Amino acid sequence: MTITHDKSYRQRCPPSSTVGPGESRGAETPCLQRGSMTALHWQQRLLSHGVLRHSFTLQFHQLANYAPYFFDNGARSTNGNMALFSLSEDTPVGTHVYTLNGTDPEGDPVTYGLAYEAGSRRYFSVDKSLGNVTLIEELDREKEDEIEVIVSISDGLSTVSEKVRILVMDANDESPEFINTPYIVQVPENTPSGSSIFKIEAVDKDTGSGGSITYFLQNIHANKFTIDRHSGVLRIKTGVTLDYEKSRTHFVVVVAKDGGGKLRGDNKVFSATTTVTVNVEDVQDTPPMFIGTPYYGYVYEDTLAGSEVLTVVALDGDRGKPNSIHYCIVNGSEGSFEIGNTTGAISVIKSPNQLKKEVYELKVQASEVSQEGDVSVYAFAVVTIRVVDLNNHPPTFYGENGPQNRFELTMYEHPPEGEILRGLKITVNDSDQGANAKFNLRLVGPGGIFRVVPQTVLNEAQVTIIVENSAAIDYEKLKVLTFKLLAIEVNTPEKFSSTADVVIRLLDTNDNVPKFSSDYYIARIPENSPGGSNVVAVTATDPDSGLWGEVKYSVYGTGADLFLIHPSTGIIYTQPWAVLDAEVNSKYNFYVKAEDTDGKYSLAEVFITVLDVNDHSPEFNENIQEKTMIIGSPVKIEAIDQDAEEPNNIVDYSIMQADPANVFDIDQSTGEIKLKSYIRSLDIIHNITKNKDCIWSLVVQAKDRGSPSFSTTAVLKIDITEEIKSRVKSYILGLKKRPWTIFGICMSGVLSTISVTMVISTIMYWKSVKRSKLHPQGKIRKIIRGPPRRTVC
């Protein structure tokens, strides 16, 4: 079954059927219950209710089938049959804009479709199952504001189609557009201020506020015009006038702006600009103007009567529609000059020798003549005409004997600044008269050395050259200074000129001090150099000439005693008797003087280093040394080399002879001697040798690293002992090396004995005194002595 109707049809449903969202049942709704009536009865009922407008076809099977239908949800609904649906033109392509929604009375699944009239653009697509409608083509309300779409719903057997109209709503997506452009306006310059001169019109295809337009001007403050913001009428600004002579064209930039509106969710305002060209038309309101003022003319001594002197030119101030100009001389001519009425050419009508004045001032009038021959406005100009002779004489230089173009002078270098070169007698002259005889003087050559006086001459002058930079007048730089003295006319068109050579030969003075090639000199000399050996050569120069340029050398200073210098060559050498020794003094410094014949001098400092030579052998403090070695501890020998520098004073040690040889090791650099690592006790030593006192004699050598190398040997006696015994022996052996210590010990013993004896004697004395007081002499016991002892020899 297929049912087709337009969008005014409203689907009715039976009370027992499912009602779509937003719909209501009514008693008048025809009841379409399955099996309740015959097909003919159905057709009659539907026709009586006006449901079938176009066609109605029923296909019956064993059971009746009812057509699907759309839900109608109102004007603003996005869910139903798209009836009364509207969409903004700025909706992005690909947006889901609507959902077709309907049902089938039997509950069968439905599908949806969209169709268009032939030749129509396809703006939408639909998901057949879900009914989702998507925008697939960009909308433009200004091109198409209504879209007709045929929507359909089908249950597989029956299809219901409806034609719906979708309204395209406006968005502010259009800019204002000016019509009838370009705008060119012709305005007379005498148009009153405030007058309307033109109307600008712009349109905007949008509707509402987006289609409303207001006008304004750019650079309103610098503009001579205003515009009505609503009507677009362009006016001359109040209080402002136009002037063709000042500005013939004005360019007015007009902006048209819409009222704004929504576009893709944002509020947008669009505008457009155009330029109105206002051409100002000239009006006769300006007097003529002379061009090229002030005017000067000259009548020369060979000018013929009737010759043209100069031409004045005047133009109508109103250049848009200029009038012709008529010239005349008002006064000042005194019958000597005339002017062409239309050309403005002024001519002399007398010969120069008949002119009584040197200067004539003519007052010339220029008048505007209209096409009708009326004189309207006029202007005046003053023309100055001078009567002059011909400029036929260039400036000329003179010496004492007449015209001269070369002047020479010999002088000493470095004269005082401001001094006049009195040896130059120069005169310059121009035989012409007036302005033709005025010329300038200047020196051409090395700048800033001399200046010439005067610099401007009228007819004739004595030329003076003055020193300006004394330092630049230097014989050593330039022996001859050459300049050109130039005289050139100032105010003549010919610019006649002449030149003269000025040659100055310089004489030398002693103005320079001898100067060394360096502020200091550094030299080296071996200590074994013989007396009279060359050390270094110093050089000083004096740019002065002759005897003033000769240099004499000398040395002085505390370090110069061993050295001499050749007075002419500057070679420094040692005294014949000098003996250099780096170990005593390796550094010398002194001054060398360079002096000219006038006593002008300069100094330089000389630094001399005496280089060490290997001339000393290492020396032991004793040729035979005795040392006690504790097992496990080294002993050390030392030799000193008196040379000043390495490697001459670096000593290496070695054992030259030992018996047996396989007992000791020696450190080459420090001189430390120690037992072989396997010897840890006296028992091992006793096994090595039959010498029971454990004393070894070694021959050791001390050798320096110089070239050639020197060496010294010494005998070293080593007593090997264990720690306690070694300390006593070491002390005793040490005393042998310190005789004053032994003497001190002996003296200490003697003094101690004397002190003890004195103490004992004092004690015994005081005891005897005490005993004598207790036993007087009369009662002293007799001491019975025995017989005397015999001494056995």
| Residue pLDDT, tens place only, 96-131 | 988 988 998 988 899 999 999 888 889 999 999 999
**Among 544, 550, 416, residue whose Cα is nearest residue 476:** 544
Q: How far is the C-alpha of 168 from the C-alpha of 85, rounded, in Å?
A: 9
**pLDDT at 46 > cutoff 60:** no
Strand locations in 471-533, DSSP E? 480-489, 497-507, 515-516, 520-526
Is there a contact between 43 and 28 (Cβ–Cβ < 8 Å)? no
Cis-peptide into 708, omega within 30 deg: yes
Prediction pTM value = 0.38
- Measured CA to CA, the distance from residue 588 to residue 523 in angstroms comes to 10
Residue 140 to residue 29: CA distance in whole angstroms: 41
Instruction: Look at 69-73, 194-198, 748-752 and tell me which has the smallest mean pLDDT.
Output: 69-73
Surface-to-core class of residue 598, CB atoms within 10 Å of its CB (0-12 exposed, 13-18 middle, 19+ buried): exposed
| Residue in 486, 390, 484 with CA at minimum distance from that of residue 431 | 390
Span 594-606, average pLDDT: 93
Among 310-324, 686-700, 764-778, the least confident range: 764-778
Q: How confident is the model over 15-36, as pLDDT tens digits? A: 333 333 333 333 333 333 333 3
Order of strands across the sheet that contains 601-611: 520-526, 601-611, 587-595, 552-556
Residue with the larger pLDDT of the pair 665 and 27: 665
Mean pLDDT of 578-607: 91
- DSSP state at residue 684: H
First and final C-alpha spacing in the chain:
186
The residue that leads in pLDDT, 790 or 338, is: 338
The mean per-residue pLDDT over the stretch 596-617 comes to: 89
pLDDT band for position 300 (cuts 50, 70, 90)? confident
Q: How far is CA 629 from CA 635, 636, 717, 732, in A?
A: 6, 10, 10, 14
CA distance 619 to 622: 8
- Closest to 610 in 3D by CA, of 586, 588, 592, 591: 586
Which of the listed ranges 434-438, 470-474, 671-675 does the model predict with the highest average pLDDT? Answer: 470-474
Question: What pLDDT is recorded for position 771?
Answer: 67
Residues 743 and 751: their CA atoms lie apart, in Å, by 12
Looking at residue 791, the DSSP 8-state letter turns out to be P
State the pLDDT at residue 234.
92
CA-atom Rg of the chain in angstroms: 69
Residues 450, 483 contacting (CB under 8 angstroms): yes
Over the stretch 375-419, which tens digit does the pLDDT of each residue have?
778 889 999 998 877 777 899 999 989 999 999 999 999 999 999
Residues 6 or more apart whose CB falls under 8 angstroms from that of 44 comprise: none
Examine the pLDDT at 541 and tell me if it is beyond 70: yes
Reply yes or no on whether the pLDDT at 792 is more than 50.
no
What b/e readout covers 708-718, taking b as 16+ CB neighbours within 10 angstroms? Answer: eebebbbebeb
pLDDT value at residue 791? 32
User: If residue 115 lies in a helix (H) or strand (E), which one and from where to where?
Assistant: strand 111-115
Q: Classify residue 563 as exposed, middle or buried by CB count within 10 Å of its CB (0-12, 13-18, 19+).
A: buried
Dihedral angle of Cα 134, 140, 146, 149, to the nearest 10 degrees: -30
- Pairing relation of β-strands 196-199 and 672-675? unpaired
Q: What is the pLDDT of residue 425?
A: 92
Q: Answer yes or no: is pLDDT of 355 > 80.
A: yes
For the ranges 62-71, 234-243, 273-282, 295-304, which has the lowest average pLDDT?
A: 62-71
CA nearest to 184, candidates 277, 274, 280: 277
- Measure the CA–CA gap between 378 and 470, rounded to whole angstroms: 65
What is the predicted pLDDT for the residue at 172? 79
- Do 466 and 420 touch, CB atoms closer than 8 A? yes
User: 23 is written with which tokens?
Assistant: 């719909």
> What is the model's pLDDT at position 732?
64
Please check whether residue 249 is in contact with residue 279, taking contact to mean a CB–CB distance below 8 angstroms. yes
Give pLDDT, residue 674. 87
Q: What is the mean pLDDT of residues 771-789?
A: 45
Q: Residues 58-88, buried b or exposed e (16+ Cβ, 10 A)? A: beeeeebbbbbbbbbbeeebebbbbbbbebb
CA distance 433 to 455: 19
Kindly report, residue by residue over 176-232, the tens digit of the pLDDT.
Answer: 989 998 999 999 988 999 899 899 999 988 887 878 889 999 888 888 899 998 899
Residues 6+ positions from 358 with CB-CB distance below 8 Å: 386, 387
Tokens of 388: 């002059």
DSSP single-letter state for residue 428? E
Any idea what the Cα angle at residue 52 is, between residues 47 and 58, rounded to 5°?
A: 90
